[in-house]
Structure 1
Amino acid sequence: MSTDFTDSHTTALQLRSLITADGRLQVSLEPVPVPEPADNEVLVRLQAAPINPSDLGLLFGAADLSTLQAGDNGDLPTITARVPDAAMKSMAGRAGQSMPVGNEGAGRVVRAGASPAAQALLGKTVAVIGGAAYAQYRAVPVEQCLLLPEGASARDGASSFVNPLTALGMVETMKREGHHALVHTAAASNLGRMLHRICAKDGIALVNIVRKPEQVELLRSLGATHVCDSSASDFLPKLTDALAATGATIAFDATGGGPLGGQILSCMESALSRRGEPYSRYGSSTHKQVYLYGRLDARPTEFRNDFGMAWGMGGWLLFPFLQKIGPEGVAKLKQRVADELSTTFASDYAREISLAEMLQPDVIAAYASRSTGQKFLIDPAKDLPALPGL
């Protein structure tokens, strides 16, 4: 094993989330041993990690953030909150387990295992995925790394996995299932703008659904052709027009709850009939699909089946998709991300914070709001107290 002796620390900090059996959330910074990489692993000193919506579910679980209380454990901050009794059933599987948080990040490889693939990354800046990224150090298998282009910083590559691979996965799912254009909700998000750039580059028609007039203007300023505001009184006819123009028959819905998924299916059916499909009492024979991939709307999913029998509604998650396409398919997607890191897959951040600042109630209120244009980036080395061995 090769070692960079400037990184000979034995102890480092990691953010962990615990829900107790009696319904209490505890989030804390914990000293943990710096891991030793196995033969096909590398040790990464993390320098940047984004806060994605998917991270918030593990970080806070079903806790009621209005009950949030700040505390400390010596020099290290903590927070606690109550989990409503009605929500504890959904938390039963993680009760009593202290869990590391953070899907992805980027940093410098400071130690490497014995394998040639691991040795080749020593001293390089890489993006990583696999959890526990809200920490100062992380040991990860080589296949969970992405070597960043020469000159790219950890900040540039911090969001190289979740949003880019999700957006590419949506397009790949569309192609594999025989569709030719797609619909995306919460389309003004970082992910939504990334998907717009992919579709523009690849010549794929995209219908963007947003929730505010200013988000319509934002996407139009980026060159988006079809943008529908779900808060507008003419949303449904405008959506039907866009679907008829594009022929989109697959949608990815980040809201999850409420009526939007069903409305999209209904408008797809109307658009297909407008495009000249023959009448059938069973509705259009063209399959229409809505995938729910988020839960921005916590209400139950509601729909009225006025869209025939050729339809589907189900869940879509990134990691099962990546398992489905296999290592070769994943490698192809990762290479595209690396090749277009500063263009198609560039991410913007509203604010950079430390691990300690993550546990300040006013900062939590900002990043937990999931507001458009308010993506936060964590610098795990920023403003933290010294620990023995550091």
Structure 2
Amino acid sequence: MQQFEIPKTFKAAQLAEYGKELQIAEIKTPELKEGEVLIKVEAAPVNPSDLSLNDGHYPSGKVLPAVPGIEGSGVVVQIGPNVENVKVGTKVAFTAYSNYGSYGQYSLTTSQQIIPLDDDISFEAGASSIVNPITVLLMLIETQELGAKAIVHTAASSALGRMLVKYFQDSGIDVINVVRRQEQVELLQKEGAKYVLNQTSETFQKDLNALAHKLNATVFFDCIGGNITGEILSQLPNKSTALLYGLLSGQPVSDISAISLIFQGKTIKGFWLTTLIHKYNPFVDENAKKNLNALLKTTLKTEYAKQYPLDKINEGIQFYKKNQTSGKILVRPHQ
């Protein structure tokens, strides 16, 4: 078995107070418990969900001060007792919901939260293997199980949105992409999206109603929340389902019509990767793992706008907040 020298301490970006900048600190390397894995982190992206967790809008399960960072890629350098599904030295993608997230030189996770990566997948590509790609994979499964032929998706120019429209259209599912700016309309159209609507248009609701009924779009994935959730659901065909997987607006879901729920058979429910149990989940299904690795090189490949060393992470986060359509940023803890 390959052996690595484990440092007593390592550098990490710590969250000391929700809504505040991260602080670079030297922290003690944790001792592994049963089922745990220590990963030397090579790359970690900043996702919208990371921003929401850092601001305290999402439950994190962390005890502050803690190292944030939901996902990343790296190499397994130490395993705890009774870990049998991965070996030391394996290149992996991982999620980390412990106090030792991915924004550090090392991260602590469990053996059930890792996915081995093919040798020809770089750490950069592998860093964004989970939050967006697996969500998109399971969104398609959910759509197929609900029997939908078309869907509506908000914040469609995001990294996830651009993955989704390619993957869904390749799978024969039409996507009505909803964005807020004309340049986002043009971006998606340039990348091959067939249907794009600007929610700031005066005719948005009328156009959405007509297109949703024409395509029979009965599934709606929403990551914004607030009043847009109810506004869009009200324009969809009877028996449509809204799946809320984010809350970028920071506002409670509103404008849900009782008529829509009672008389039109519409439903709304949550869709969250960490609580979603499905047999086709790459964390547990070997065929799904192989499929994910293949798609990471093509349809579900992530592009990054910029990369930052760990001590410049706050600068990177500020850039990302202002330029999310440009692509994610990537943190490189060992640079």
Mark yes or no: TM-score above 0.5: yes
Counterpart of 2:162 (choices 180, 193, 206) is: 193
Structure 2 residues without counterparts, runs of 5 or longer:
none
Query: Aligned residues: percent identity?
Result: 31
* 1:173-184 → structure 2 map (5 Å cutoff): 173-184=142-153
2:311 and 2:89 mapped to 1: Cα distance? Answer: 27
Alpha carbons of structure 1 residues 368 and 17: separation in structure 2 relative to 1, 3 Å: same
Amino acid at match of 1:175: Q
* 1:90-129 → structure 2 map (5 Å cutoff): 97-112=64-79, 117-118=84-85, 121-129=87-95
Amino acid at match of 1:255: I
Deviations 1:161-216 (A, max 9, x none): 00011112222222233333211111111000111121122111211111111111
Partner of 1:263: 231
1:49 and 1:208 mapped to 2: Cα distance? Answer: 28
1:153 and 1:367 mapped to 2: Cα distance? Answer: 22
* 1:48-127 → structure 2 map (5 Å cutoff): 48-61=43-56, 97-112=64-79, 117-118=84-85, 121-127=87-93
SS of residue matched to 1:146: strand
If each structure's strand is expressed as a fraction of its own residues, which one has the higher value?
1
Deviation at 1:148, TM superposition (A): 1.1
SS of residue matched to 1:358: helix
Residue 296 (structure 1) aligned with residue 234 (structure 2): no
Partner of 1:70: none
1:221 and 1:328 mapped to 2: Cα distance? Answer: 31
Deviation at 1:126, TM superposition (A): 1.0
Deviation at 1:289, TM superposition (A): 1.4
Deviations 1:122-162 (A, max 9, x none): 32321111231111112333332111112211101000000
Residue 4 (structure 1) aligned with residue 3 (structure 2): yes
2:37 and 2:123 mapped to 1: Cα distance? Answer: 16
Counterpart of 2:313 (choices 350, 353, 358) is: 358
Partner of 2:296: 341
Counterpart of 1:230 (choices 193, 199, 202) is: 199
Deviations 1:44-66 (A, max 9, x none): 2101000011111222326xxxx
CA contact (8 A) 2:21 2:314 kept: no
SS of residue matched to 2:15: strand
Query: RMSD of aligned C-alpha atoms?
Result: 2.8
Residue 15 (structure 1) aligned with residue 13 (structure 2): yes
Alpha carbons of structure 1 residues 165 and 327: separation in structure 2 relative to 1, 3 Å: closer
Higher-Rg structure is: 1
TM-score by length of 1: 0.75
Deviation at 1:370, TM superposition (A): 5.9
2:218 and 2:161 mapped to 1: Cα distance? Answer: 18
Alpha carbons of structure 1 residues 15 and 329: separation in structure 2 relative to 1, 3 Å: closer
2:68 and 2:216 mapped to 1: Cα distance? Answer: 40
SS of residue matched to 1:252: strand
Deviation at 1:291, TM superposition (A): 2.0
Partner of 2:330: 377
1:183 and 1:334 mapped to 2: Cα distance? Answer: 27
Q: How many residues align?
A: 328
Alpha carbons of structure 1 residues 141 and 209: separation in structure 2 relative to 1, 3 Å: same
Amino acid at match of 2:249: D
**Following superposition, which runs of at least 4 residues in structure 1 exceed 6 angstroms of deviation?**
93-96, 326-329
Amino acid at match of 2:78: R
Amino acid at match of 1:379: R
Partner of 2:271: 316
Alpha carbons of structure 1 residues 108 and 220: separation in structure 2 relative to 1, 3 Å: same
156-165 vs 229-238, which moves further? 229-238
Deviation at 1:247, TM superposition (A): 0.9
Deviation at 1:314, TM superposition (A): 3.1
1:150 and 1:39 mapped to 2: Cα distance? Answer: 28
